[in-house]
Structure 1
Amino acid sequence: MPTGELVRLRAFDPSEAEALWRWNHDPDVMRWMNDGYPDSVAQVAKRMSEWPRNSYEKVVLAVETRAEGRLIGVAVLRDAEPETGNAELDVYIGEKDCWGSGYATDATRTMCRFGFDQMRLHRVTLWVVADNVAARRVYEKVGFVEEGRQRECFRRDGEWHDMIMMGLLESDLRD
């Protein structure tokens, strides 16, 4: 299991659908993410039970605290291509009492290290809403740099926001 200083990454179990459902229906957690349409815990559990095995193309891992083993978030490397050595990262901490404690930074760093070491990636990219200052700070601490901007493509609370593309090369990763 990929392990950082504060977190451990592991496969999800369908029995953890309630936590995923709760996070995905919390307006604070979903503030800067595409949240789609509401669904039930049963729908989330069914979808989780039908997830394909983790593979090179898509790795979905639960983020748990290293000390207590408490489930607190999600980390995903997706759209990985062996021909280019690229993948896209999605990560979030769903347990709000864990925000601001370094878990997101450690989960991001640990997932990227997994991608570089185990998947032999060369590059990891991500998209973040420009106004999501906390997430941008996390990514910059890990070594991500801004590489592009898509103007006014994310709508929240009646306002349009820019999305920033950030990239991390293996040599950029900060410990």
Structure 2
Amino acid sequence: MLTGKLVRLRALETSDADSLYRWIHDDEVGRWMTGSYPRSLDQVRKRCEERQVNTYEHVVLGIESVASGALIGVTDLRDAEPETGRAELDIYIGEPDHWDGGYGTEALRLMCRYGFTMMRLHLIALWVVAENERARHVYRKVGFAEDGRHRECFRGSDGKYHDMYLMSLLEGELID
């Protein structure tokens, strides 16, 4: 269920710290991600070592290339509540040479299928910066609908404020 033709979703390992460190310090990879204070490689390694076990409330999975076995990105379902059947999704491909070719699309489908099937979610939501057309295209491609626009709520690495869209996908709307 967590393996497709291009990617496999798996638990993150301590050994993934080097890739995560490289990605969080890459301006192009992090362009549309919420920034944080600079972290050393040792801090990232420690965080990986101390990572909490995946739970219903927060599942974090690495996106691995089936062909090479290399970690190429990360996805998660967070703030999940069984009472509401809702969770928020985050996803990014950290390896620019995998930005095209369907890797992100397949990883998104696998994670949504996992959420609907294994977690029994009814709704998966996400936020995306309005100018991030590459991501918005992928989200629409798998069935996400734009529910609303939050004005100037994201401050980018360029120092400018950008609008964000709230998008959601209901159980049964996933497009294969």
The TM-score with structure 1 as length reference comes to 0.97
- Structure 1 counterpart of 2:163: 162
State the Cα deviation string for residues 137-170 of structure 1 (Å, max 9, x = none).
0100110000011100112213211010000011
- Structure 1 counterpart of 2:40: 40
Aligned residue runs from structure 1 range 15-34, under 5 A: 15-34=15-34
Aligned residue runs from structure 1 range 11-160, under 5 A: 11-156=11-156, 157-160=158-161
Identity, % of aligned positions: 61
State the Cα deviation string for residues 40-75 of structure 1 (Å, max 9, x = none).
111011111111100100000000012221210001
Residues in 2 aligned to 1:69 and 1:119: alpha-carbon distance in whole angstroms: 26
Stretch deviating more after TM superposition (65-74 or 88-97): 65-74
Residues in 1 aligned to 2:100 and 2:79: alpha-carbon distance in whole angstroms: 29
Stretch deviating more after TM superposition (43-52 or 127-136): 43-52
Counterpart secondary structure, 2:108:
helix
Counterpart secondary structure, 1:29:
coil
Residues in 2 aligned to 1:32 and 1:107: alpha-carbon distance in whole angstroms: 18
TM-aligned CA deviation for residue 79 of structure 1? 0.4
After the TM superposition, which segments of 4 or more aligned residues of structure 1 sit over 4 Å from their partners? none
State the Cα deviation string for residues 109-146 of structure 1 (Å, max 9, x = none).
11000111111111100000000000000100110000
Residues in 2 aligned to 1:35 and 1:19: alpha-carbon distance in whole angstroms: 17
- How many residues are treated as equivalent by the alignment? 175
Counterpart secondary structure, 1:21:
helix
Counterpart secondary structure, 2:172:
helix
Residues in 1 aligned to 2:101 and 2:24: alpha-carbon distance in whole angstroms: 21
Amino acid at match of 1:100: D
The TM-score with structure 2 as length reference comes to 0.97
TM-aligned CA deviation for residue 90 of structure 1? 0.3
CA RMSD of aligned residues (A): 0.9
